[in-house]
Each structure stands twice: as C-alpha cells, then as structure tokens.
Structure 1
Amino acid sequence: MVYSDKSLQVAKLAAAYRLLPPLTDQQQRHQREVDRLALTWSSTALAGNQLTLEETRLVLTEDIAVGGKPLSHHVQILGHSEAFNMLYLLARLEGLESAHVCALHQLYSYRLDAEHAGKFRTDHLTISETSFMPPSPAEIPTALNALIDQSEQQRQQNPPLVYAAWLHNQCMAIHPFATANDIVARLLLNLALLQCGYPMAVIAPQQRDAYLSALRAAHNGDHQPFINLLSHQLVIALEKRLHQASS
C-alpha cells in the first residue's frame, strides 16, 4: 500500500489535541499502559516476535510465558516494557544524549545478550536492496554524536511529524548496534513525538511491507514515504484521542 502525505491533517488534529484538558493521574496511568501494550506488541512483532496482542498483554500484566512460543519472544516483551519505562522518563527531558540511545538498547537487550546490550556493534554492515553503507564501527560514536548535535535544530525547524521521522531514519542509517536497531529507532520516534506534545504513533505489523519499503527509500535519500506512513498513523492516534475526549 502506498500512503499519501497527511501532514496538513496531522497539524490540524494536533492543534485540537493540544487544546484538550490535561488527563487526570488515573487517566494518565491508563493511557500509559494502553500505549505500552500497543507499542510493545507492534514493535516486537515488526521485528519478528510471534506473540499475539493478547499473549503480549498476558506477559506484561501477569508475566506468563506462552506455551509453544520461543522463550526469547517472551523475554523481548519484558525488555521492551523496561525500555518503554525509560522512554517515558526521557520524555520529561528537553534534549537527547547518546547515552539515552544506548540505555534504551541496554534495557531491551540485556536479557537476550548481556555482553552486547547497550554497546556499539563491532562488525561492518551492508543494507540489502540499497547502495547505502552504514558507518563503520570506528565511525559510530562520531555519527551518533552528530545525530545528537543536529537533533535540537531538527526539532526547532521541523514539525514534530518530520522531526520524529528524521530521528527514526537517522538511527536506522547509523545502525549503531548489532541487533535491535529498529526497536530502538521506533522508541526514539515515539520519544520525539511525546517530547513535542503528540501522542504515540504505532506502526502495525500488517504494515511491515510498507514500513520496510519506506526504510529502503530513506536509505536511498528519499524520506517522504516514511513521513507519509507516519502521518497516516498519527492521524489515527490523534483522531482516537480526540474521540475519547469527546465521549
């Protein structure tokens, strides 16, 4: 599926969203758990996790290992939930640091691969179906620091939608870790949205082909397909929040 640019609709809905009264403490806690389930299930599923939405809910709420599914998939859910907690803490801050990026990876990965969790990759990579080459291992610290240095300017000069897409795509372009770069990139995307006063945006597992196609386009220098996809998901998120507020 090819997604059209809904940036103007996002801006209009976001303006209405910002006029809503603040949520009560109870409503905030409820929304946080709704977001935790939605983002944890969708993001890990995009990365290959086989647990269903209901199975993911059971892992998050009751820490139940699902029979017939790899134990590593159960562990991925727990790790993403911990990284999600960090995401909410970081959302209260104004800026972004390279240590934050590594912390998100460490929290997600330490149960799966303690040796490499939160540490930069040491191998050279190639990205299939593109001519793009991620930085070499020696170049990763400089590349990530450059991302951090540019992030505030990008945030100030662009709408939240474009800034969030940029942050996600830059993380994927650097590919700082040996694994779970996509998990971290989607966490950073939603961190950007929360810091800008937007709701989280979830890319559904059913959109995997469109997501991967948009990533390939971004690696080849065209970021518009990803912006289009993200704008579509933000319209859904904003309309849902506005509907909830009016009901």
Structure 2
Amino acid sequence: MKSLLKNAREQKGLKTREVAQTLGIDQALISKFESGLRKPTRDQVTRLANLLEIDYETLMIAWLKEKILYEIENEEFALKALTAAEEELKYQKSVSKIKLSSVLEKTLKEIDILKAQLHTYPKKNYAEISKTTELEYIFESNRLDGNSMTPQETELVINQGQTISGKSMREHLEAVNHQEAIRFIKDLQKNNSFNELKLLSMHNIILRGINTENAGNYRKKTFLKNENTNIGTEHSIIPKEMQNYFFWYEVNKNKLHPVILAAEMHIRLLKICPFAEANEKTARLVMTLILFQHEYPIAIIKEKNRKQYEELTINDNAEDFIFFIARTVKESLENILE
C-alpha cells in the first residue's frame, strides 16, 4: 500500500505537504503512510484514493491485506485460518437475503394451493397435458430468440420429423434440439441436483449442429477495460463466476421456495452470460429443470410478455423478476387445471 500511495502522489506532482493540507491530515502522517510506519484509517483510505485517483478497490484490498497480515502473520496456523475464513466469507455472501413483499408471498401461497390441487388429478391426465405445454414452451422459447416457426410447424418438425418449406435448417434444429433438451432435463428431475456438467450438457444439446465450436463450452475470454488507464485486458473470469454460481445454488437450494430458486438461477446465469450464444434459452431451461424437480409445471414466457421479460433480465431488482416468474408459473398452473 505504501508504494501505491507514494507512486500516485509523485505521478500527480504533489508534495506530502500539499496532500496533507488538502485532506486535513498531518504531514508527518502522510510520510509515515508512505514509509509503512503507520496505517491510514478507512476514512483516510477513501480520501486518499479520491485525491490521488487510485482505484478504490485496489487500495482497499491492499489496506485490508495489511490489516490481516499484521494480526496473523506470525501465527502458526495462519494459512489454515485464512482458508477457513475464506470459505466462511464465501458462504455468508452466498446466503440469499431476499426479503419477500406481501404480494409475492401471497402469490407463492396461491401457487402452492394450485399445485396441491393439480396433484389430486390422475397422473395420466397431467401427462397428456404436459405434452401440449412442452410443445408450447418450445415454440415460445424459440420465438423469443427469433425463430419464425408457427406452433403447428414446430409440432410437425419435432413430432413427425417433417421439413418445413421456407424455414432455415437452423430453425429446424432449434426445434429438434429444444425437444431433446426437455427430455434431458426430465431425466434429471428425478433427483434434486444440478451441477456444471449438467449445465454444459444442456447447452451442448441446444446448440448441437448449430454452433459446434461453442456448444457446451464457456466463452473463452472476457474483455475488461480498466477505468483508470482505459487499457483493455483479457481475463478468463467465467469459470470462477460459474463456480460461485453453483456454490450459491448448493447453499440455497433447500432454503428457498422452488419458484424463487428457479427464478434466481435464471437471472444469475444471465448476469454472468457464460456462453457465446444461447444464454437466455439455457437460463430458461435451468429454470424449467428446477421447477420440474419440485413438481411445478413449465413457466412459459410468451411473446406478449417479451418486452417486460427482457427489461427485467437487465434490471438489478431481483424481486421484480421473481414476481414475474411467479405470475408466469401461476398462469401455467391455472391453464393446466382449466
């Protein structure tokens, strides 16, 4: 940290006296910060970062690192303690802290009443209806991504293997692959698990024959621009973010209402955007898998709700998106019961 402070001050052509006068800190203290003899307070770190135009996160990490080292560097079990602390911090940050509004709570209760009602009917009746809802889901999900097939054409392609005149090979493959992906997640619904391998397999099925190079693979690199230097660098950050994604799932999968869990896993995957293509479609399949595992029907996001859906996926308000998905699940249950 001392080097960060001194180098930044010298680059700005400031003397320690000038920094001290501007911040209202004793000049001797500024010199001690730069020599490492004293540590600034958190407030002083913030003010120094602003004045010297040092990236705040970089300076705070250096400050915290030195605080930690000062406390434990001579301890015999320091490294083991740090590892344990890292896992605990990771866990605490992964625990969902969503506060449900009364409206959302009411909707979730209504959903569970409808679900209980659905399960009073013979399973064979529901199985027939499921075929229809799955077809509708495939049609609507593909339509959200630009596929121009009608529901009738989609049915002819996936159930009768017909080729539709005027439709591209890609559109045919999107229909066939999506049906295969539904079969795949139905096989997975028997156990309450979801992991990275299953996600990659799901994505591979969706892009099979469409984008062979990227099917089942994360984006290789992400381009990041440093705000201070305006210089871009490439980083492979996706694997780490996906590790956190599945850690969050394991921590919360038995604590959250299944509809909330499904919606959260959907929106979190979109925010990471791990794939070069088909992130939205894969996120909807992840949501469907979780709903299936808890015996809820498919949440069919229709064309009429496209604008709201797209706006909510880029909105930082998670509860708005969860409420949108909850209403979609409720509508699906009502339609099936009807």
Using the size of structure 1 for normalisation, the TM-score is 0.84
2:236 is paired with a residue whose SS is: helix
Asked if residue 21 in structure 1 is aligned to residue 116 in structure 2, the reply is no
Matches within 5 A, 1:90-101: 90-101=188-199
Q: Quick one: which of 249, 253, 260 aligns to 1:155?
A: 253
Aligned residues of 2:262 and 2:291 also touching (Cα < 8 A) = yes
Task: Tell me the alpha carbon deviations over residues 16-38 of structure 1, each in whole angstroms, 9 at most, x when there is no partner.
Answer: 422523643x4354234223201
Residue number in structure 2 paired with 1:213: 311
Q: Quick one: which of 295, 301, 308 aligns to 1:203?
A: 301
Residue number in structure 2 paired with 1:85: 183
Q: Quick one: which of 199, 205, 208 aligns to 1:107?
A: 205
Task: Tell me the alpha carbon deviations over residues 43-86 of structure 1, each in whole angstroms, 9 at most, x when there is no partner.
Answer: 11111111111111111111222112222111111111111111
Q: How many residues align?
A: 227
CA distance in 2, matches of 1:106, 1:44: 16
Compute the RMSD of aligned alpha carbons.
Answer: 2.1
List runs of 5+ in structure 2 lacking aligned partners. Answer: 1-101, 225-233
Matches within 5 A, 1:118-133: 118-124=216-222
- Change in Cα spacing, 1:35 to 1:152, as seen in structure 2 (3 Å) is farther
Q: Quick one: which of 108, 127, 131 aligns to 1:33?
A: 131
Using the size of structure 2 for normalisation, the TM-score is 0.62
List runs of 5+ in structure 1 lacking aligned partners. Answer: 127-135
Aligned residues of 1:6 and 1:232 also touching (Cα < 8 A) = no
Runs of 4+ in 1 over 6 A off after TM superposition: none
Residue number in structure 1 paired with 2:323: 228
Which structure carries more relative contact order (alpha carbon 8 Å, separation 6+)? Answer: 1
Asked if residue 190 in structure 1 is aligned to residue 288 in structure 2, the reply is yes
Aligned residues of 1:50 and 1:73 also touching (Cα < 8 A) = yes
Residue 6 of structure 1, CA deviation: 4.9
Which has the greater radius of gyration?
2
Aligned residues of 1:43 and 1:203 also touching (Cα < 8 A) = yes
Aligned residues of 1:7 and 1:231 also touching (Cα < 8 A) = no
Task: Tell me the alpha carbon deviations over residues 124-161 of structure 1, each in whole angstroms, 9 at most, x when there is no partner.
Answer: 269xxxxxxxxx76221222122112213322222222
AA in 2 matched with 1:234: V
